[in-house]
Structure 1
Amino acid sequence: MPYRPLQIAAWLTFAAASQHAFAQSNASAEAAAPAAASGVTAAAPATARGEQALPAVKVTAAVQADSPLHLNTPVSAGALGSRSQLETPFSTTVVTGEELADRQANKLGDVFAGDASVTDSSNAYNAWATYITIRGLPIDWQNGFRIDGNPFISYGITMPYENLERVELLKGLGGFMYGFAQPGGIVNYVTKKPGAEPVTSASLGYRMDGVLSQHVDLSRRFGPDGMFGARINYTHEAGKTYNAGDINRNSVALALDGQLTRDLAVYFNAIYQQSRSSGGTPAIYTGSYTAANLPATISGGSNLLGGTDQHLNTNLQLYTGGVRYQITPDWSFNTSLSYSKSTRDRNESTLTLLNQAGDYTDNRWNGDEGHQDIYWQGMFEGKVKTGPFMHQLVLGASWQHQTNDYSAVSYSFELGNGNLFQPNPWRYYSGAGLDKYRASEITQKSVFASDTIQLTSRWSVLAGVRVTNYDQQTYNVNGSLASSYGHNGVVTPTFALMYKLEPNTTVYASYVESLEQGTSVASNYANAGALLNPLRSRQYEVGIKSEHGRWSANAALFRIERGATYENDQHVLTQDGTSIYQGMEAGGSVRLGRSWQVAGDVMLLDTWYAKGQTYNGNRVAGAPRFVAAARVTYDVPFVPGLQVGADTKYTGNMEVRPAGNLQTGGYMLVNVGANYMTRIGGHDVTLRAAIDNITNRRYWMFQYENYIAPGDPRTVSLNAKIDF
């Protein structure tokens, strides 16, 4: 295990020192830069499009500078309230809507392609839609996803990224901030809201092999002094996917707000999405595989593994209403109530791999599933002064009730044998509408408080605590109670010490605990139906964040201790010992001259099982030792408005299972793209083109412990947007 604390600490110290030295060497250059460099009077900020002014653009206000890492961007930090990335003593990532459009993101892994701590395990067209790992830890599909801070069940849901303002990622433990959740991290989708200026835009897109998409964005303010606002986004896509499947998706997002008085505001948000897809690529299960190496890689664009009989139909609904009240200039109150509902109708194969020649058994599962989440939160945020110290306080409470419904009769059976390199000969067509029963209910009641104390102009300390009453029941098909777990007064604390090295540079050390709900064991394990106990995790992190006009950087040293859960040799899902995740991540971006921008991100990770009876010392499944990402963009000076770029990401070798005897192999992906902003007929027009995996690299992608899938093939995406 080569990456141990002293070595990693040395790397982090070097990274921090390098950043500070970089800041000093760039200070004179930043001081000499003209004021326009931080607020270009063009259709897009300099940091996104360079300093090329587009013709005939009417300037109505100065553009606020923003670096590619967006460290001054406010992020939702749950019980910490709303604060910028720079003021948050944990690692975070923000991806803006403009970046999502430029990347033409099609799945969650695309969203975080530039973040080395995120490993892609997702697929846009099957139930693995939101599977990623963060620092080697899987994200919790039941508790790890939020929309505007409100929980929803993400399983199988590919979000309409065109409808989003940005996507926020809190890495590591979210227990204090959000309650029970696995320690991988929290993804928060922020939807577009009505702004001060009207918006009318439409776009048309194409993705190979034949998916066409349309998107409309409308926003207006109305009433006396524009006191009411409304924004609606609609997205439709349909056509033939790269693996000869089909997709038909309709998404609409509505945001309403009203500034009723100077201090009182109300809002209502709604999302509705219906998606139907067929021909998705099956997952490949390796639990019974005995060879030392995986079979030769195949393309994720192949239609050999599945057929149009396989399908995934999903529906997502989320409705949120809330009130914001500014009690005094220093104190505010925000309360909201949300209801989310997601359903799935699945007919999917899992291919059980038998040997290195690629032989498999096709196991089909067909059933319906549904989830509901009702969530309320009330929170006070404010400032008080005690003697020489200023306190930033957050006080609140929340209540969440989640229900999970599964098919009373689901169909799981073996179709027959096949081979990865030959067409799958098996078909099983099915309908929908199977009866469901209440499989489980989970209720969380929490109170929380945090206090950030400003000790001096540079030093501050944070302390917070969440106390949760947790109750979980699982039921049999006949409605009788199968198992239950309940515990009152579960405490998940956090502590942090922060130091302002300079106004735009924060050094921090933090500690946080988290508790994740007990796993209800799935049907593919020998102890199916059992309810495992909740697991407590601990995270230690030391980091630095620095934000400047022409460059920004961050680095973190972390250690996460999580109770280990894995499938043993008897195919029993068991809890045994501890999983340790220890490593360093560092990244930065710099603008060179007027046209070049270079960004890079790296993660070094060491993981092992400890204190258990079976796999002590083995690497944790799904955790790469090394990941590196880089991006270069160039604003073409002789074609104003044209930007070209390329990015690459190398993902290191991963263990497929805890036994440590099967690996995916490392792989590098290269993507290229171009964006062109111009005016046609008096309207702003943006043309975008992207080629993902331009070398058409074939690779095995880790999806989950014992599960792999072929990586996505080379894909071409085009988009044209017009602003009216």
Structure 2
Amino acid sequence: MLVLWAAAQIGRAHAQEAQGKDAAAAALPTVTVTAESQDDTQQHLGAKVSSGALGARSQLETPFSTTVVRGEDMAERQVSKLGDVFALDASVSDNSGAYSAWASYITVRGLPLDWQNGYRINGQPFLSYAITLPYEHFEQIELLKGSSGFMYGFGSPGGIVNYVTKKPTDQPVRSIEVGYKTAGIWSEHVDLGGRFGTDDRFGYRLNATHEEGKTYNDGNVRRDSVSLGLDAKLTDKLTWTFDSLYQKRTSTGQTPSIYLGSYTGTQLPATISADNQGLVGAGQHLATDFNLYSTGLQYKLSPDWTLSTSYSHSSATRSRNEGIAYLLDSSGNYDDYRSDSAEGHRFNQWQAMATGKLRTGDFEHQLTLGASWQKQVNYYSSNSVYQLIGSGSIFGQNTNSYASSTDFTPYRNSDITQRAVFASDTLKLSDRWSVLGGLRSTTYEQIGYDTTGERNSSYRKSGVITPTLALMFKPAPDTTLYTSYVESLEPGSTVGSLYANEGQLLNPLKSKQYELGLKTERDRWSATAALFRIERGAEYANSANVLVQDGQSIYQGLELGASTRLGSQWRIGGNLMLLDSSYERGSSYIGNRVAGAPKLVATAQVSYDVAQVPGLRLSADMKYTGNTMLNAANQLSVPGYTIANIGASYTTRIGGRNTTFRAAINNVANKRYWEYQYDNYIKPGDPRTFSVSAKLDF
């Protein structure tokens, strides 16, 4: 109702304003000014990224490895899951599957992202598990690779994904888009934005999407998403912002998870395609509801100092009934378990920051001071179902029934609270040299409850210090050399039902990261390079199927990336990650490769603007992911594979309106491959899919 009311008020204001302007415009000649901002590189190093306690900086100024994927990039490639979003980044391995509970799973530098702490919207936390967000509603999606303890507090050292919602624009935005995806999914998307009121004091951005149809494995999906962004220039110095996002999404006919903890072979069975309907049993479904509301104030204290405060609330619920195939042998036989449950999560966060500059003698300081509080509340159903319902073969038709008649009763399972204060100083020693130092002090508390509401476990860690330190050198204004160090602490796991020590709360894990990097962005080309080493406490299932913390896991590697424009028509780029991972220091598996960490990932992309047909662009890209170990024992691995995609876009004017047509084919060769999903889990890779869309600006 809030969104509809706001839209109505905005429309009324525009109508009144337009009546006044039409009379004045009638006496004036029409002047059309067209400007095209051409990004000559595909790395977008000038784009701002949110760095938590460091504030917002450009990628070029951030002494850590980052990636920015713009909304236009996602539209060009017609993405359906998070692995598609980062398909051109070699540091990211795809563990996701479209239209499933795993659609937001990725691995960064061989480390899985923390689904409780590794995802943000406009820098504010939400719980991402089983949530596929509406990619049409975002200006860009940012990835901060590696440890993020100083910037965001507790979290795994894989990195942080930050979704940036579309914001109010100075110029009016009016567009409608219709799309189609294999095998029968239709979507409609509306994007409206602009400013109104005296001196254009008020701004808005409204996006709405409906998607519905038949998925590639004969299931169905239905999605309704609405987001609204508002801002108001209350005074010359004080600005108010508000952002909201709502989505209700239901999918059926999901491909079951495939678990290998009971597997007896030394090689995986022959691959199957994810559109193989034989693996899907009747009754499997995933239903999610997601809400996010946030508001903030920014006050310009002086030309050099800004005070800001923000508050956000998010909630997510999911009802999931799916199969878990305990794969037994290379013939493809499995025991079929049904997992049926209802779960919910709430996040509340408050943060206050002061950012500014000051001088002490010959030195300039860029300071950030702040405090934050956040609380996460988890709800799980006391009468969840996890039962053996039959058997089958991945090469035959699943005849087991997943019918559910359970009325779930969620209970408050746990609370997780973080309180933090932080400060950083970027000390400018000269025009070329600068030093960054930062400290965050966090108090972390986790409380567990039984089904009657009684406290049954607790863990508290006070005054945890996570520092960061970086040295930066700029040989030229468009080039940054840096070396950085950062520490992180991540919450200990609550052991799941697959392990012999189910329910045990493990201790937090500490990690350290060292990085040496280079970023440069020239007129027609850009390049990045990073050497990194991450030391993290190792966690894995031992031979007795007990989830343990033992020794360390080491990740060290090299990232290279470059893109350039050749002439006026060609753009090419590439990305490479070489990764050496191992278990060390007291681990039962010393010297073994870490599960989920490929040794080599490489990407390449090319686009061509067809001179003979102005507005037509053709593109192609590929990604090679090397073989990946499935568990700490290293007795099973997923073979390497290459996926290729092609696309085309055509921008023209129809009836005086800008119109854009897009088409994309993902996995154009219909490659069959096993994909590492999680420790001891695999999934069949997504099949070839075809997407088309038409967008009209009005």
Output the TM-score relative to the length of structure 1: 0.91
The 5-angstrom pairing of residues 258-273 of structure 1 reads 258-273=232-247
2:616 corresponds, among 619, 642, 655, to: 642
Q: CA–CA distance in 2 between the matches of 1:636 and 1:555?
A: 32
Deviation at 1:126, TM superposition (A): 1.7
Q: Deviations over 1:391-419 (max 9, x none)?
A: 00000000000000000110110011100
Q: CA–CA distance in 2 between the matches of 1:511 and 1:705?
A: 28
Deviation at 1:66, TM superposition (A): 5.8
Q: CA–CA distance in 2 between the matches of 1:168 and 1:420?
A: 37
Alignment-derived partner of residue 9 in structure 1: none
Deviation at 1:308, TM superposition (A): 3.9
The answer to whether 1:446 aligns with 2:443 is: no
Q: CA–CA distance in 2 between the matches of 1:569 and 1:480?
A: 34
Alignment-derived partner of residue 256 in structure 1: 230
Alignment-derived partner of residue 541 in structure 1: 515
* Partners of 2:69 and 2:142 within 8 A in 1: yes
Q: CA–CA distance in 2 between the matches of 1:297 and 1:716?
A: 22
Alignment-derived partner of residue 291 in structure 1: 265
Alignment-derived partner of residue 688 in structure 1: 662
2:331 alignment partner AA: A
Deviation at 1:59, TM superposition (A): 2.4
1:662 corresponds, among 613, 623, 636, to: 636
Q: Deviations over 1:212-249 (max 9, x none)?
A: 01100011211101100111100110000001110000
The 5-angstrom pairing of residues 419-498 of structure 1 reads 419-430=393-404, 434-498=408-472
Deviation at 1:525, TM superposition (A): 1.1
1:359 alignment partner AA: N
1:628 corresponds, among 574, 599, 602, to: 602
Q: Give 3-state SS (helix, strand or coil) of 2:242's partner.
A: strand
Q: Deviations over 1:558-582 (max 9, x none)?
A: 0000000011111111100000000
Q: CA–CA distance in 2 between the matches of 1:565 and 1:186?
A: 20
Alignment-derived partner of residue 503 in structure 1: 477
* Partners of 1:576 and 1:612 within 8 A in 2: yes
Q: CA–CA distance in 2 between the matches of 1:64 and 1:593?
A: 13
Q: CA–CA distance in 1 between the matches of 2:181 and 2:501?
A: 43
Output the TM-score relative to the length of structure 2: 0.95
Q: CA–CA distance in 2 between the matches of 1:720 and 1:642?
A: 14
The 5-angstrom pairing of residues 580-591 of structure 1 reads 580-591=554-565
Alignment-derived partner of residue 201 in structure 1: 175
Distance 1:463 1:57, change over 3 A: farther
The answer to whether 1:402 aligns with 2:410 is: no
Q: Give 3-state SS (helix, strand or coil) of 2:401's partner.
A: coil
Q: CA–CA distance in 2 between the matches of 1:65 and 1:649?
A: 23
* Partners of 2:281 and 2:399 within 8 A in 1: no
Deviation at 1:58, TM superposition (A): 3.8
Q: Deviations over 1:267-310 (max 9, x none)?
A: 11100000000011111000111211000000011111113410
Please identify, of 60-69 and 155-164, the stretch whose mean Cα deviation from structure 2 is larger: 60-69
Q: CA–CA distance in 1 between the matches of 2:406 and 2:73?
A: 37
* Partners of 1:483 and 1:530 within 8 A in 2: no
1:704 corresponds, among 630, 653, 678, to: 678
Q: Give 3-state SS (helix, strand or coil) of 1:258's partner.
A: strand
* Partners of 2:146 and 2:159 within 8 A in 1: yes
Deviation at 1:433, TM superposition (A): 5.1
Q: Deviations over 1:348-407 (max 9, x none)?
A: 111000000000011111010000000000000000000111000000000000000000
Deviation at 1:334, TM superposition (A): 1.1
Deviation at 1:124, TM superposition (A): 2.3
2:256 corresponds, among 282, 292, 300, to: 282
1:121 alignment partner AA: N
Gaps of 5+ in 2: 1-29
The answer to whether 1:155 aligns with 2:126 is: no
2:572 alignment partner AA: V
Q: CA–CA distance in 2 between the matches of 1:77 and 1:545?
A: 17
Q: Deviations over 1:149-208 (max 9, x none)?
A: 110000001110001100000000111000000110000000001110011100000000
Q: CA–CA distance in 2 between the matches of 1:64 and 1:207?
A: 29
* Partners of 1:368 and 1:433 within 8 A in 2: no
1:105 corresponds, among 64, 79, 82, to: 79
1:218 alignment partner AA: L
1:334 alignment partner AA: S
1:335 corresponds, among 309, 314, 321, to: 309
Alignment-derived partner of residue 7 in structure 1: none
Alignment-derived partner of residue 192 in structure 1: 166
Alignment-derived partner of residue 43 in structure 2: 69
The answer to whether 1:578 aligns with 2:552 is: yes
Gaps of 5+ in 1: 1-55
Deviation at 1:668, TM superposition (A): 0.2
1:220 alignment partner AA: G
Deviation at 1:523, TM superposition (A): 1.5
* Partners of 1:345 and 1:432 within 8 A in 2: no
The answer to whether 1:519 aligns with 2:493 is: yes
Q: CA–CA distance in 2 between the matches of 1:258 and 1:430?
A: 48
Q: Deviations over 1:30-64 (max 9, x none)?
A: xxxxxxxxxxxxxxxxxxxxxxxxxx994255737
Matched-pair identity in %:
58
Alignment-derived partner of residue 16 in structure 2: none
Q: Give 3-state SS (helix, strand or coil) of 2:277's partner.
A: coil
* Partners of 1:173 and 1:512 within 8 A in 2: yes
Deviation at 1:482, TM superposition (A): 2.2
* Partners of 2:554 and 2:581 within 8 A in 1: yes
* Partners of 1:603 and 1:628 within 8 A in 2: yes
The 5-angstrom pairing of residues 287-366 of structure 1 reads 287-366=261-340
